[in-house]
Structures are given as C-alpha cells and as structure tokens.
C-alpha cells in the first residue's frame, strides 16, 4: 500500500524543553494506526506537531506533498484534520455553529449541506441538538460533535487524540464503531489512545511512544494478552 502520511525526524519543543525527539512514522492508504503511550509520553504533542500547532522541526508530507511546518490551515486545506485532546468544542456556541466552524475553509453551500448530512447520518443526535449550546451536551455528545466538526472539514486523513477520555463504555463503543466505519469507507485514521486494548482492536498497526520517543511498532495480531502489551510498555 502507498503511504499517505509520512513523518520524518519530527521533533517538537515547548520553550527550551524538547518534548518529541526524532519521530519517524508513516500511515498507508486506508490504514487505521494507533499511537499508544502512557501519560506525558508526548502523544498530544505529536498530533500538534504534525498539524503545525506547536513549534517543531522535521518533515511531514501528505500524499507526496510537504506540509509547511507551522501552518495548521494548510494541513486542514490538504485534508489533514485533528480531533484534539479534550475535544476543543466551543462551549458557548450551538452545535450548528460548531459544525459551521469545522467547514471554515468552505464556501459552497451545496457541499456544506452534503457534509452536514453525512455528519447527521453518522451521529443522528447532532441533528436533534443543532440549536443546543455545545457546552450543555453530554460528554459523549460533545465528542460526537468534535468528530462531526472535523468531518465538516472533509478530511482525507483523520487524527484523533483520546476520543474515549472520560466517557462510558457504551458511548466509547458508539464512537469507535463510527471510526471503524469511516475507515472501512477508505478514510485513513490515526488514533491516539491510552486505553491500548481498545485501540489495538481496531488498528492495523500501532506505534508505542514513551518519553517523547517512538520505542516500538506493534502488530496488533501478535498481542495475545495484556501481559504481552505490558512487556512493551516496560521494555
Ligand atoms: N504547553 C506546554 N508547555 C510545556 N510543556 C508541555 C506543554 N504541553 C505538554 N508539555 C509536556 O510535554 C510532555 C508531553 O505531553 P503531551 O501532552 O504531549 O503527552 P500525552 O502523551 O498526550 O499525555 P496524556 O496521556 O496525559 O494526555 C509532557 O512532559 C508535558 O508536561
Ligand atoms: Mg494526551
């Protein structure tokens, strides 16, 4: 399979502190890739560095074209879209307004309607709650809105940072099955998770991050037990 997202020797820093060191990874067309790692491993920083949302150095390209390193808008315009950690919805705004913001680069009302219909199709509750202030949605609904808003940008690859955070098992299942469906339709996905078993169930491949470095690449089919996974974390 051809690789769509190529990350080469990416590093990122907060002030003088380097939080990511020399990360190289790739995502092939149609792949579902997990990024695993404990608290503070740098998962969020990696997503933000790919998007150009934090000072970073290295090369990132999508479908063969280099992505400028400090330009989130260019990433979104090329179809590289992030559902951020903590969802990042605009709490005082309505569901409808949040979805509109996801399509901020679009100036075509027919296409807007098409994208919104797709979001409603995947998350019918978003249609029901269109006029509701986003901050008053349940945690699960807020996460659906965060994914829905990203889909309004018409992603060609979707990055998600811990969408399961703080949610109950039922709604996590609902969101993850939607991701599986999108992936089955051909959308490449990068899923950051601390809950490794969840992510491994869906993914073709997983990268393990620890203290800002990639320490292993895992084939989920070879992980038979929690013990085996723990060995990766501890090694
Ligand atoms: N704005 C910031 N300023 C300084 N240091 C930061 C900042 N954001 C993150 N860091 C540091 O960078 C490291 C990686 O943090 P990051 O949020 O990327 O980890 P994570 O893997 O997403 O963690 P978690 O699982 O807790 O979400 C941590 O040591 C963190 O303290
Ligand atoms: Mg994080």
CB 191 within 8 Å of CB 160: yes
In this prediction, residue 231 carries a pLDDT of 66
Distance CA 95, CA 137 (A): 9
Kindly provide the b/e burial profile for residues 70-80, where b requires at least 16 CB atoms within 10 angstroms of the residue's own CB.
Answer: eebebbbebbb
Distance CA 93, CA 127 (A): 15
Q: Which of 40, 43, 83 to mutate to test the pocket of ligand 1 (most atoms within 8 A of CB)?
A: 40
45 C-beta closer than 6 A to ligand 1 = yes
Distance CA 19, CA 81 (A): 22
- Residue 212 CA: nearest ligand 1 atom is 14
- Residue 38 CA: nearest ligand 1 atom is 25
- Residue 165 CA: nearest ligand 1 atom is 27
**pLDDT tens-digit readout, 99-127:** 999 999 999 999 999 999 999 999 999 99
CB 35 within 8 Å of CB 209: yes
**pLDDT tens-digit readout, 153-169:** 999 999 999 999 999 99
Q: Binning pLDDT at 50, 70 and 90, where does residue 180 land?
A: very high
The rounded Å distance from CA 8 to ligand 1 centre is 21
């Amino acid at each position: 399979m051809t690789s769509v997202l190529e990350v080469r020797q990416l590093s990122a820093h907060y002030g003088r502190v380097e939080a990511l060191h020399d990360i190289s990874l790739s995502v092939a067309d149609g792949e579902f890739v997990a990024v695993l790692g404990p608290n503070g491993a740098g998962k969020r920083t990696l997503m933000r560095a790919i998007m150009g949302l934090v000072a970073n150095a290295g090369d990132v390209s999508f479908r063969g074209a280099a992505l400028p390193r400090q330009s989130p808008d260019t990433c979104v315009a090329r179809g590289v879209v992030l559902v951020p950690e903590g969802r990042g919805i605009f709490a005082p705004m309505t569901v409808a307004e949040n979805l509109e913001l996801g399509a901020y680069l679009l100036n075509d009302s027919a296409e807007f309607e098409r994208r919104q219909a797709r979001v409603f199709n995947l998350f019918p509750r978003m249609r029901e709650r269109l006029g509701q202030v986003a901050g008053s949605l349940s945690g699960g609904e807020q996460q659906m809105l965060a994914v829905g808003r990203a889909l309004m940008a018409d992603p060609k690859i979707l990055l998600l940072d811990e969408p399961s955070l703080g949610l109950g098992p039922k709604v996590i299942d609902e969101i993850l099955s939607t991701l599986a469906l999108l992936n089955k339709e051909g959308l490449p996905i990068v899923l950051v998770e601390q809950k490794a078993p969840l992510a491994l169930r869906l993914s073709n491949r997983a990268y393990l991050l620890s203290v800002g470095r990639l320490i292993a690449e895992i084939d989920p089919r070879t992980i038979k037990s929690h013990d085996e996974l723990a060995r990766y974390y501890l090694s």
